[in-house]
Amino acid sequence: MDNINIVEFLIIIGGAQGVVFAILLLIRSLKQNFFQNLWLSVFIYLFSIVVIKGWYIGSGFYLKFPEFLFLPAYFSWAIGPSFYFYVVFLIKRNYSFRLKHLLHFIPFVFQLAYQLIIFVKPVSEKLDYFHSDYLFLILPIEDIIGIISLTIYYTISFKILKKYQSSIIKNYTDVRKMLYKWINHFVIASYIMLVGWALTFVIDFLLFDYNKSYSFYYPIYLTMIFILYWIIYRGFISTTRIQPESQSIEGTNFILPEIDIKKCLLKLDVAMKRDKLYLKPKLSLNELAENIDINPKYLSQIINKNFNKSYSEYINTYRIEYAKKELLSIKNTNFTISAISENCGFNSKSTFNETFKKLTNQTPSQFMKSKT
């Protein structure tokens, strides 16, 4: 312990705090957002152990405490799956973890079994094995598989994120924008940590054959610790304040709090009665949703449940009521029925006539005659 300098102390403390936070987050997962907090805690724990193991071996500290060699705590092959499932569960709230998903962790089982077999051996045998076979054969293979695994899972997660990004363009809730921003930063930060890990492997094993002192890697490990702290802080904030909608982006049924439904209905009433947005030709669901600042899918569901109408039926009801007033005043204007249909937001007279008869059981001309 006397040989530990301030930089190594910061690295050790950073890794240890990562482990502690992961445990606290795991406990918290029992109370809320179980799978989100679970996978984030696993990811933070595993990367914290990568940092701690790098110091333990790189600094030569294992020579003072060789009994900790092969302690079954370092599972680099499980980092990728834990990262992937955290991203998926954060984006898709109704995503469920099934038995088949355990297949992602088969490599982890092999890694665990291997460590257990070596860990129970006498200390002298472990040291001999470490210096003969593990350091120059098994460890490089373990790191290569871990780096490739992370690259694959990060890439898959990034593709899911890009798909989510395209949904954000169509949806206007602030929650989704905040959620996307956090996940995007999380992926980038994790990529940087992966690059740091890969650099230590390339420099240490491929270029210098383990001849570089641990101090040579201080900048890399300090960067990883900084990013780890950032993930811990932002991850806590995201799981506390930024919650995804109650259903998947790809789902069709949503649940909004009653107070939000009332606010939406008030905004919708203003948009229809005061602003008369229905008079705008080709008024789309997305356009109306953007105007009243709500997710289009939420708006569609609210209209369906509260007015028992589809979006187009809801808009056309307002257009026809407006048309009735215009038709009754046609004697005092130079407007024709065709002109009135255009002023009401219809693209053609035939569509106007068809919709008018469907809602009133009369054609526009019959309606005018019945009122004279």
Question: What is the pLDDT, as a whole number, of residue 210?
Answer: 65
Confidence at residue 169, expressed as pLDDT on a 0 to 100 scale: 47
- HEC sequence for 60-116: CHHHCCHHHCCCCCCCHHHHHHHHHHHHHHHHCCCCCCCHHHHHHHHHHHHHHHHHH
CA-based radius of gyration for the chain: 31
pLDDT by position in tens, the chain (length 372) = 456 889 889 999 999 999 999 998 888 878 777 888 889 899 999 989 988 988 898 888 899 999 999 999 989 999 999 999 988 887 776 677 888 999 999 999 999 999 999 999 999 999 999 988 888 888 888 888 989 999 999 999 888 877 766 555 444 445 555 666 777 788 888 888 888 888 887 877 777 666 677 777 788 888 889 988 888 887 666 554 444 444 443 444 445 556 578 888 999 999 999 999 999 988 888 889 888 888 787 888 889 888 988 888 999 999 999 988 888 875 545 667 888 888 888 888 888 989 999 898 989 888 888 876
Structure confidence at residue 252 (pLDDT):
44
- From CA 370, how far away is CA 368, in angstroms rounded? 5
Residue 371 pLDDT: 75
What is the model's pLDDT at position 248? 40
Domains (range + CATH), the chain: 6-241 (1.20.1070), 258-370 (1.10.10.60)
At 5, phi and psi to the nearest 5?
A: -90, 180
Q: Residue 126: what pLDDT? A: 93
Provide the pLDDT for residue 170: 47
Contact in structure between 84 and 104 (CB atoms under 8 Å):
yes
Q: Evaluate whether 273 touches 115 at the Cβ level (below 8 Å).
A: no
